[in-house]
Structure 1
Amino acid sequence: MPRPHHRLVSTCVGTVTAGLLATGAALAAPDDEPARGSGTAFGAYLDYGPSGVARIPSLSRWLGGREIRVGHTYLPGDSWAGIEGRVPFLEDWARWRRAKEDRMFVLNVPLQARNEGRVPDWQVVQLIRAGAQGEYDRHFRRLAERLVELGVPDTVVVLGWEMNGTTYTHRCGPDPENWKAYWTRVVNTMRSVPGQRFKFDFTPNRGTDAIPWTRCYPGDDVVDVIGMDSYDQGPGRTFDDHVSQPYGLQQHVDFAKAHGKEISYPEWGLFRNGDNPEYVRRMLRWIDQHHPLYHTITDYCPHGVWQCKQNPKSSKAFRDALAEQGPVVVPTPVVPTPVVPTPVVPTPVVPTPVVPTPVVPTPDVPTPQVPTPQIPTPEVPTPPVPTPEVPTPPVPTPEVPSPTAPTPVAPEPEVSVPPVVPPAPTPEASPTPAPTQAVPDPAPTRPAPTPSQPPKPQPKPDPKPRPQQPVNSTQWCLPFDFGDWLSKLIGGQSLCIGLGFGWEGDSGFWPF
C-alpha cells in the first residue's frame, strides 16, 4: 500500500499530464530526455603513454563495440624538451591516429616549462613577457615540425589549458594582455611550419576561477575551437548551477556561437560529489544537445567510470548511454519450400556368415616363487681410534758463552847474575858481542766482546820466554834448563859469563 505522500505525488503527476495532453504540449523538455549518445567524436583519457593507446580497444568492447574516435594525451611540462615533443610515446599515438581516417588526435601542450612548479606570480609575469617577446618560439616550431614528421599535421592542440585558474605556470591571471600576445606568437609560429593543419583549442575551467576566462581570449584569428573543462565540483552544487553560473556551461556555448567557433569538452568527469550518476546523465544530455567537435572523459580515479571501480552507479549510467546497441534487424519471412518425397527403394541386405575363431586356451603356468635368502649384515664393531698424543719437544735454549778475557801473564824480572871473569882467552876464541838489555813482551790488549758473536780466544804467551843473545856483548850466555820450579825461583833460564882480554880499553876484548 503506498504511503500518503506517494498518493499525493501520483495525483499531481496525473493532473499535470492531463493538462499537458489537453493543451497539446506533450513534448518533454530536452534535459528530461534520456541521453542517447550523439554522433559527436568521443574518447577518454586513459593514460598519457603507450598503455593509453593499448586500453582503447578494451574500452570499446566494454561499450558494446562503440567506436572510440578520439585519442587524448598530454605533453610533459617539466622541461622544454617535453614541450618540443621529444618523447617516444608520441609515435604510438601518431600510429593509432593514422590507422583510420576519421580518428582525431588531441594533444594538450603547456606554454611554460616547470608548468606545475608552483611558480609565484611575479615570476610568471616575467615568463609571460619573455614568451610575448619571442624567446620561446624555437620550442614550439620544433614541436610543429615533429608532429608533421609523425604524420599527424591535423592534431587538435589544447594550448595552455585552464589558463584562468591558479594551478599552472602558464596561467593568464598575472598579466592577461601579455598572455594573449604570447598565445598569438605561439600559434603563428606553429602555423608557419609547412604541411601543418593544426586546430588550436582555447580551453578554460568552467566558472570564474581566478580570472574570468573571457579576459584571456586571444582573438578569433588565432583560435579554432573554444573548449571547457567541467568536473562535478564547485562553483555550483548541482548541474543546473554548472549551466547557469557566470562563465559556466551556458555562457561557454553562447560565447562560442557569438565568435563562430566550435566547442569541445576535453576534460570532464566526477570529482567532489563522489559517485553521482545524475551528473553523468545530465552531462551526456548536454553534449547531445550542443554537438561539440569532440568530448573526452577523464577516466581515472576519482573522475572515471571504467578504470575507476569506486563509481559503480555512474559507470552504469555512462555505459547505458554510450553503449552501442547495434542496428535493428528486421526478420525476413521464410517461404517454406514444398518437399517432394522421394520413394525409398530398399536395398537387400545379404548377411555375411560369421566364421568363429577358435579360442586356444593358454595354460596357466605357475611361476615358482623363489624365496630370496636374507643375508644378515654382520655388524662390524668400530674400534675406538685413540687420539695420539703428540709430544711437544722442548725447544732448547742456546747457551751463549760469556766471553772470558784472557789473563795476561806478566813477564817475570830477570835476576842478574854477577859476571864471572873467564880465564884468559885463547887465540881461537871468537869475540862475543856485548849483551843488550832484554825487552819484555808488551802486555796483551784485552779484547772487547761484541754482542753478536763470542770473543775469539787469544793465544797465551809462552810461559818460558827464551832470551835472545845480545849483540856485540862481552858476555857469553848459555841456556840452561833448571826445570819449572827453579826457573820460577831464579827468574831466568840462561847463564851469561863476561869475557875481558885487556885491550881495546878496559873490555879485554880480543879481536881474534
Structure 2
Amino acid sequence: MRIGRLTLAAAALLLVTTASVPSGSPLSQTERHAALSSDAIQPRGAAPRPVVQRSRHETPFGAFVGSWDTYIPNIARMANWLGNANMQVGHTYLAGNSWQDVEGEPVVLGLWSQWRQADSSRKLVLGVPMLVPNEGNLPDAEVARLLARGTRGEFDQHFLKLAHKLVALGGGDTVITLGWEMNGVTYTSRCKPDPTAWKAYWRRIVTVMRSVPGQRFSFDFTPNRGLDAIPWTRCYPGDDVVDIIGMDSYDQPAGGTFDSYVSEPYGLEDQVEFAAKRGKPVSYPEWGLFRNGDNPEFVRRMVEWMRTHDTAYQTVTDYCPHGFWQCDRNPRSAAVFRQLMSGSAGAVPAPAPAPSPQPAGR
C-alpha cells in the first residue's frame, strides 16, 4: 500500500511498513560455543567487567503503533490510556519493497517529522532497510552479491536522497535503525551471507548520510537479542559509525525466563557491557511478548531493566501478540505495563552543551 503523492509546503516526509516479527534459525550448541570463542564477547565472569548499572530513572519511551502517517494520532491515544504519559518516542519503518521506498515517501516522512518537531523532547526512530526487497526471501548468495554492490557505492544515491529529505523536512536528528535485526534470517538486509561486506556497506551508508549539511542523525545498531543466525558482534561496523547499541528483545523462546535473556550469549548483559566499553548508550527499539503468552513478569522485568541501565529510548511493539494497548490477548501484562508507565513524565532532556571556548585573539 502506498499513499498518494501530495505537495506539502516544504516537500514532505517518509514511507514505512509493518514492524518485523523477530525470527531466526538458532545455531546448534556446537556452533554457539565455536562462535563464542572467536569474537568480542568475553566469557561470563572474565575481568574486568564494566559498570553498567545506573540508579533508577525514567527513559524516553514510546511504541510502534503503525507505520503510515495516519497512525500518528495513536500515540496520543495510547498516551491517554497511560494516564496522559509523556510518550516521547515515535517509531516507524520504511517499507523496503523498492529503492523508492528507501528514499522515503515525502508525505509520510513530513508528518512524522512534524510530530517530532512539536516537542523538543521527542525522538523519531526510523527503521531503514539496507537492501531491497527487504522481505524478499532472497538466498544467501544473492544477498552477498547485493552487499558487494553496496560496498561499491551502487546504492549510495538512495540513502543520499533519504538524508536530504529528512533534513529538509525537519527530521535531521532522526534516530536510524539501519538494517535492524541483521543477525537474523528474516530480512535481505542481513549480515550472515558476508559479514565483512555488510560492515563495509553500513559504513558507506553512514558516511553518505552524514555528508548532508544540517544532519544530526544517530545510527542505532540493533540486532535481535541472543545468538541468532550469527553473533551480532561479528556484524558490528565500528564505534565511529555507531551512536547507539540497540537490541530487539521479545520473550522468546518458549519457556525462557528473563534471567536467561540476561545471561544468554549475546543477551542483555552482553549488550550493556559491550556498549559501556565503548561509551555508548543502549536502546530497545522493539520489545514485547511473543512465545510465552500473557507474561506480566517479562514486562515488569524488562521495564525495570531499561530504567536501571543507560537506555537512550525504548519502544514497545504494540500489536498482537506483542503489545498491550492494541492487543486484548494480554490483559495481565497490559495491567502491569499500565501500572508501570501510567502518568510517566518521560525523561528530562539533557541540557545543551555549553559552547566551546574560543582561543584568545579571535
TM-score by length of 2: 0.79
* Counterpart-to-counterpart distance in 1, 2:256 and 2:324: 20
Match of 1:43 in 2: 62
Provide the secondary structure at the position in 2 that maps to 1:201.
strand
* Counterpart-to-counterpart distance in 1, 2:147 and 2:163: 21
**Given the alignment, which residue of 213, 224, 241 partners 1:194?**
213
Match of 1:482 in 2: none
Match of 2:350 in 1: none
Provide the secondary structure at the position in 1 that maps to 2:333.
helix
Are 1:322 and 2:341 counterparts?
A: yes
Higher alpha-carbon deviation: 92-101 or 248-257: 92-101
Provide the secondary structure at the position in 2 that maps to 1:293.
strand
Match of 1:471 in 2: none
Map Cα deviations across residues 119-141 of structure 1 (whole Å, 9 max, x no partner).
00110110000001111000000
* Counterpart-to-counterpart distance in 2, 1:273 and 1:78: 31
Deviation, structure 1 residue 196 = 0.4
Match of 1:215 in 2: 234
Alignment of 1:279-290 (within 5 A): 279-290=298-309
Match of 2:316 in 1: 297
Are 1:61 and 2:84 counterparts?
A: no
AA paired with 2:60?
A: A
Match of 2:95 in 1: 76
Distance 1:252 1:116, change over 3 A: same
Match of 1:97 in 2: 116
Alignment of 1:469-480 (within 5 A): none
Distance 1:161 1:236, change over 3 A: farther
Cα contact 2:79–2:87 (8 A) shared by 1: yes
Provide the secondary structure at the position in 2 that maps to 1:172.
coil
Are 1:246 and 2:283 counterparts?
A: no
Cα contact 1:45–1:52 (8 A) shared by 2: no
Deviation, structure 1 residue 49 = 1.0
**Given the alignment, which residue of 88, 93, 109 partners 2:128?**
109
Deviation, structure 1 residue 235 = 7.9
* Counterpart-to-counterpart distance in 2, 1:58 and 1:325: 15
Deviation, structure 1 residue 40 = 0.5
AA paired with 1:319?
A: R
* Counterpart-to-counterpart distance in 1, 2:178 and 2:254: 24
Map Cα deviations across residues 299-356 of structure 1 (whole Å, 9 max, x no partner).
0000011110110000000001111179xxxxxxxxxxxxxxxxxxxxxxxxxxxxxx
* Counterpart-to-counterpart distance in 2, 1:106 and 1:169: 20
Distance 1:220 1:235, change over 3 A: farther
Provide the secondary structure at the position in 2 that maps to 1:261.
coil
Provide the secondary structure at the position in 1 that maps to 2:130.
coil
Provide the secondary structure at the position in 2 that maps to 1:88.
helix
Cα contact 1:43–1:70 (8 A) shared by 2: yes
Cα contact 2:56–2:308 (8 A) shared by 1: no
Cα contact 2:106–2:165 (8 A) shared by 1: no
Provide the secondary structure at the position in 2 that maps to 1:183.
helix
Provide the secondary structure at the position in 2 that maps to 1:294.
strand
* Counterpart-to-counterpart distance in 2, 1:282 and 1:52: 28
Percent identity (aligned) = 57
AA paired with 2:314?
A: H
* Counterpart-to-counterpart distance in 1, 2:92 and 2:227: 26
Are 1:278 and 2:294 counterparts?
A: no
Q: Relative contact order: is structure 1 or structure 2 higher (C-alpha 8 Å, sep ≥ 6)?
A: 2
* Counterpart-to-counterpart distance in 2, 1:112 and 1:128: 8
What runs of 5+ residues in structure 2 fail to find an aligned partner? 1-54, 346-362
Provide the secondary structure at the position in 1 that maps to 2:285.
strand
Match of 2:175 in 1: 156
Alignment of 1:273-422 (within 5 A): 273-324=292-343
Match of 2:143 in 1: 124
Match of 1:22 in 2: none
AA paired with 1:257?
A: A
Map Cα deviations across residues 32-53 of structure 1 (whole Å, 9 max, x no partner).
xxxx984210100000012321
Query: When you count helix as a share of all residues, which structure comes out higher?
Result: 2
Deviation, structure 1 residue 231 = 0.2
Are 1:185 and 2:193 counterparts?
A: no
Computing the radius of gyration from Cα coordinates, the structure with the larger value is 1
Map Cα deviations across residues 229-249 of structure 1 (whole Å, 9 max, x no partner).
000112871010000000000
Cα contact 1:236–1:245 (8 A) shared by 2: no
* Counterpart-to-counterpart distance in 2, 1:68 and 1:234: 29
AA paired with 2:299?
A: V
Match of 2:26 in 1: none
* Counterpart-to-counterpart distance in 2, 1:38 and 1:247: 25
Cα contact 1:37–1:322 (8 A) shared by 2: no
Map Cα deviations across residues 41-67 of structure 1 (whole Å, 9 max, x no partner).
010000001232111111111111111
Map Cα deviations across residues 152-202 of structure 1 (whole Å, 9 max, x no partner).
100000000000000100100010001100000000000001110000000
AA paired with 1:57?
A: A
* Counterpart-to-counterpart distance in 2, 1:291 and 1:224: 13
Match of 1:233 in 2: 252
Match of 1:383 in 2: none
* Counterpart-to-counterpart distance in 2, 1:184 and 1:177: 11
Distance 1:148 1:105, change over 3 A: same
Are 1:135 and 2:141 counterparts?
A: no
Alignment of 1:455-466 (within 5 A): none
Are 1:169 and 2:188 counterparts?
A: yes
Map Cα deviations across residues 97-127 of structure 1 (whole Å, 9 max, x no partner).
1111111100000000111000001101100
TM-score by length of 1: 0.56
* Counterpart-to-counterpart distance in 1, 2:90 and 2:246: 16
Cα contact 1:236–1:242 (8 A) shared by 2: no
Distance 1:268 1:156, change over 3 A: same
Distance 1:87 1:167, change over 3 A: farther
Provide the secondary structure at the position in 1 that maps to 2:308.
helix
* Counterpart-to-counterpart distance in 1, 2:94 and 2:216: 19
Cα contact 1:208–1:246 (8 A) shared by 2: yes
Deviation, structure 1 residue 92 = 1.4
Distance 1:295 1:325, change over 3 A: closer
